[in-house]
A and B are shown apart, each in its own frame.
Chain A
Amino acid sequence: MIHFLTQVGRYFIFLRKVFAKPEKHSIYYRQTMRELVYLGLYSAGIIAIIAFFMGAVITLQTAYNTQNPIYPKYLIGLGCRDSIILEFSSTVAALILAGKVGSNISSEIGTMRVTEQIDALEIMGVNSASYLILPKIIATLLFNPILTLIGIIVGIFGGWLAGTISGVITSENFIYGIQYAFIPYYIVYSLIKTLFFAFIITSISAFQGYYVDGGSLEVGRASTKAVVYSSVLILLFNVILTQLLLS
């Protein structure tokens, strides 16, 4: 318990260091642009692929589980839309990003720690936590909502394609379904969750990497911890945010 509280305290001290005033805004701006590409743009492909297949599977499973004629066919489109918007585009995508982006951040910063690159920054008088991590946090906060929107669009498209090609639903029914009883707030809810999850993934992973002590073995362990802790916190905050935002 004491170890847990120590780590929590350390995490908040770390965050204070991360959010300290930047040394030179132009350098931070350049770093943020770089991170937007590495952490954001380079994740768009995997999110699109997974969203496409998730949308397809949701449509097919909904179709096979609602074969009773009393259920209107357009419910398949509605089910696909709501599953994608409410859970896949934010939570499942965040879990995927915790694996991809989180382990990347943790191992990058951890390697910089064990090879004394972070010490080199500190010696120069650079706030290493802020210089290395703040641009990553800003980049993910800016880009992850875009990834969420990509996930929603591609996921629903995947559902439509799978549904129409397999013949379980007509294109008209699916399109009617995705328009039926649409609540725009669900998109806002999804984007709010995405922002929380983006912050969790980046800050927890960076924290694990920043305090690595040892060698390559510890970097690997930190990377694993980053993914595990981020995932658990994403699931926990998913419950809390859902209760707060949808109740």
Chain B
Amino acid sequence: MITVKNLSKSFNGKKVLDDISVTFEPGKTNLIIGMSGSGKTVLLKSIVGLHEIDSGEIWFEDTLFSELDFNDRKEIRTEIGMLFQGSALFDSMTVEQNVRFPLDMFTNKTPKEKNERVNFCLNRVNIVKVNKLFPAELSGGMKKRVAIARAIALNPKYLFCDEPNSGLDPITAILIDALIKELTEEYSMTTIVNTHDMNSVMEIGEKIIFISDGVKCWEGNKDEILHSDCSTLNDFVFANSLAKKLKAAK
């Protein structure tokens, strides 16, 4: 479980996150939604410690993560997997080397064990016969899958996904969403997904928080989101004409 208490963050005097409190539950796909520029990515990066917060607390189970220094955070970080918006695969490494990297860095497994784990992770995300390719030779969807394989290589307790289906076609986006949900359930991970894609919300949103202008405006699940009284959330959810028509028909 990850708990965020009264988190605030500013950049150059401009408040980007204001007094956010939320609990992300284990074994569930937790979604952070909001418009572009609302502060979703800053919140996600603040939780994992890529941005130092101005005030508030971030707890990973019983550990106050936000108060730890870089070295003390290492132990928790080996339990974190993260899928970045642009995949963030290492350009100079092949697919296989990318997935093997955390194993090389943090385990004492034999080369054979590492190979087995790499192949298992790649098979798990339905990637085959690309072990020797470089990231530049992969499609967007394949890159995301490889990035997920790398993220789960160390069996993480926490999975963070920043816009996992941005730039993907609708079918691939649904497949990536389904994969994230399956892995979350399979490994009982605490998964936090950052998205503004309503398809993802309706597919995998077991717990959802809505952020607008750096403030948490709403919290609920995918069933409740369609019946919210929050006007900014409704503007977001029913932004496209099809959704507006469906709402009017209701």
Contact = CB atoms under 8 A, between A and B. Distances in A.
A126 B80 contact: no
B104 A123 contact: no
Main secondary structure of the interface of B (DSSP, over half): mixed
A126 B106 CA distance: 9
Given A117-B91, A119-B84, A125 B50 contact: no
B70 A123 contact: no
B249 interface: no
Contacts of B3: none
Contact of B77 (A24, A116, A125): A125
A23 B50 contact: no
A127 B77 CA distance: 12
A124 B86 contact: no
B88 A125 contact: no
B82 A123 contact: yes
* Interface bin, chain B: 20 to 34
Interface string B54-96: 0000000000000000100111011010101110111100000
B86 A116 contact: yes
A154 to B, nearest CB: 31
B105 interface: yes
A115 B78 contact: no
Contacts of A122: 49-50, 77
A123 B85 contact: no
A126 B73 CA distance: 10
A29 to B, nearest CB: 12
Given A116-B88, A124-B77, 8 more contacts: A27-B104, A112-B91, A115-B86, A119-B88, A120-B90, A123-B48, A123-B160, A126-B105
6 contacts: A24-B104, A27-B104, A119-B82, A120-B88, A125-B77, A125-B78
Complex A-B, nearest 6 residue pairs according to Cβ-Cβ distance, in ascending order: A125-B77, A125-B74, A116-B88, A120-B88, A116-B84, A123-B82
